[in-house]
Amino acid sequence: MKNSWLSLFLPEDVYKEKRILYFLGESAILGLCVSLLFLIVSYIYPLRLIEMNMFFSFVVVGQVIYVFLRYIFSGMEYTDTFSSKDYKREMKRFFFQSLTFTLVFFVLYVLISGLPQE
């Protein structure tokens, strides 16, 4: 996995890396299913309660939140934490990795779809 751009966002630990890749795969499949379901329902019942780009933005944000929550609830970030100092250092590192991941996705979204113009 070291030859991929995705390795910039993944931890060095092989176990954590593998689990996060599983979480990313799960979120991608869930996002695809929700998107397809939305497209089918909007084709059958064209109510237009929500714009397409807004819905798909929610799907992307939902995928990021899903991976984040799965990581937290799995307890993987505490595998090699022995003291309070180690715990604080690990949480700080995890926070900045999550923040970087979120900012990169936000910037990519803005680059792809553009800023709202009203």
pLDDT digits (tens, 9 = 90+) for 85-99: 877 787 788 889 989
- Would 41 be classed as within a structural domain? yes
Residue 45 counted as domain residue: yes
Q: 12 is written with which tokens?
A: 């060095």
In a domain, residue 85? The reply is yes
4: CB partners within 8 A, 6+ apart: none
Q: Is residue 100 part of a domain?
A: yes
- Segment 19-30, tens digit of pLDDT: 999 999 999 999
Residue 86 lies in a domain: yes
- Rounded to whole angstroms, how far apart are CA atoms 91 and 85? 10
Domain extent for 107: 5-113
In a domain, 109, yes or no: yes
Q: 3-state DSSP call for residue 83?
A: coil
Q: State the DSSP H helix or E strand holding residue 86, giving kind and residue range, or none if neither.
A: helix 84-113
Domain count, the chain: 1
Domain membership of residue 118 (yes or no) is: no
| pTM of the complete model beyond 0.75 | no
Distance CA 56, CA 35 (A): 7
